[in-house]
Amino acid sequence: MLETERATDLHLTRRMRRLRRSEALRDMVRETHLHPADFIYPMFVVTGQDVREEISSMPGQYHLSVDQLAAEARELRSLQVPAVLLFGLPGSKDAVGSSGSDPAGVVQTAVRVLKDADPDLIVITDVCLCEYTDHGHCGVLDDQGHVLNDESVELLVGQALSHAEAGADIVAPSDMMDGRVGAIRAALDASGWIDTAILAYAAKFASAYYGPFREAADSAPAMGDRRGYQMDPANAREALQEIALDVEEGADLIMIKPALAYLDVVRQARDRFDLPLAAYNVSGEYAMLKAAVQQGWLDEERVVTETLLGIKRAGADLILTYHAKEMARWLQRPR
């Protein structure tokens, strides 16, 4: 080939690299941006006083007693992270998870303390039985050990009402019983909590990525597993059906969980539904990155940023993530 011909070919080639030459150019054409307002920060609240104990499987995350929460609220405000998701580790457990709907329970108290510390902080409560049942399942059991649907829904409704009464802005049922969103909506409305919103764990898969959480929330099932109510990881079409049902039943926001192995579901949900869409970057996803970072195998800021960008790019409006505080700090840093 002649030298001049080759030059012409190169000249005609579209040069994708032109807009990658400087940080200013890359900034200008960036399609996806993370903002602290995208994040919901999950917290584990325990009984007792002066508890601030690191969760070994989730470095940087803590078991906190309620006296620690006002300081957390202040820190989140300074970081512009607008919302928290609360999990409770109660003082006692039984077969039906009674402590979950105790008006003086650990989550109910935490809601009051946080709303007192900062009325603008959006307080979301996880509604489920597994943290409160002695068998660790997300519902109540029959004598064969099967999780009963409607009986469980009734108890979940009671727990959701107690959270609303404590002042939760949003309740987030994570149990995956059928019909619980509709039942919770009806009960909230009937009790005058018409402004309490529902964030439905709409498509929640039976995932190995919840491993560290079960230590964090002390909620591992004593026998069996959750595959009788959580979704099969192989099923994306079924996830869309699950979401459609929750939307129909009155969910205000919908969630896909976990995030990373299900980004196709996040994208399809974004394209199909118009409600605010959240993705839960779960404990195992967090622990994987933390472990590799601790080994010196990955650059923390870069890998966390890339991960959260991926979730947002797939279509999530909101990301529930244990990285919320550190990511907000990085975003706030002047460049």
Would you tell me which residues interact with Zn ion (CB under 5 A)?
128, 130, 138
Query: Residue 213's binding partner, choosing from ligand PBG, Zn ion, none, with beta-carbon cut-off 5 to 8 A by kind?
Result: ligand PBG
CA terminus-to-terminus distance, the chain:
47
Q: Which of 93, 115, 204, 325 is catalytic?
A: 204
User: Which of 174, 196, 268, 307 contacts ligand PBG by CB under 6 A?
Assistant: 174
Query: Residue 180's binding partner, choosing from ligand PBG, Zn ion, none, with beta-carbon cut-off 5 to 8 A by kind?
Result: none
- Does 109 interact with ligand PBG (rule: CB under 6 A)? no
Q: Candidates 7-15, 89-97, 126-134, 145-153: pick the segment binding ligand PBG (CB under 6 A).
A: 126-134
**Active site includes 312?**
no
Please give, one letter per residue, the 3-state secondary structure of 114-131. Answer: HHHHCCCCEEEEEECCCC
Q: Could you tell me the smallest distance in angstroms from the CB atom of residue 10 to ligand PBG? A: 50
Q: Which is nearer to ligand PBG, 118 or 238 (CB)?
A: 238
The shares of helix, strand and coil residues in the chain, as percent rounded to the nearest 5, are 45, 20, 35
**Active site includes 204?**
yes
Query: Residue 124's binding partner, choosing from Zn ion, ligand PBG, none, with beta-carbon cut-off 5 to 8 A by kind?
Result: none
Query: Residue 126's binding partner, choosing from Zn ion, ligand PBG, none, with beta-carbon cut-off 5 to 8 A by kind?
Result: ligand PBG
Yes or no: say if 76 and 84 are a contact pair by the CB < 8 Å rule.
yes
Torsion, Cα of 107, 110, 116, 117 (10° steps): -140
Interface of this chain with ligand PBG, residues 204 to 223, rule: CB under 6 A: 210, 213-214, 219
Q: Could you tell me the smallest distance in angstroms from the CB atom of residue 214 to ligand PBG? A: 6
Yes or no: say if 251 and 272 are a contact pair by the CB < 8 Å rule.
no
- Does 282 interact with ligand PBG (rule: CB under 6 A)? yes
Q: Which residues pair with 210 in a beta bridge?
A: none
- Does 242 interact with ligand PBG (rule: CB under 6 A)? no
Dist. CA 59–CA 291, nearest whole Å = 8
Residue 176 CA, chain-centre distance (Å), reads 15
- Does 130 interact with ligand PBG (rule: CB under 6 A)? yes
Dist. CA 93–CA 100, nearest whole Å = 9
Dist. CA 302–CA 20, nearest whole Å = 18
Parallel, antiparallel or unpaired: strands 318-321 and 39-46: parallel
- Structure-block tokens of residue 321: 């993530």
Residue 132: what residue type? Y
Q: Which of 257, 290, 312, 325 is catalytic?
A: 257
Residues involved in catalysis = 204, 257
**Which residues of this protein are in contact with ligand PBG, per CB under 6 A?**
126, 128, 130, 138, 174-175, 210, 213-214, 219, 226, 282-283
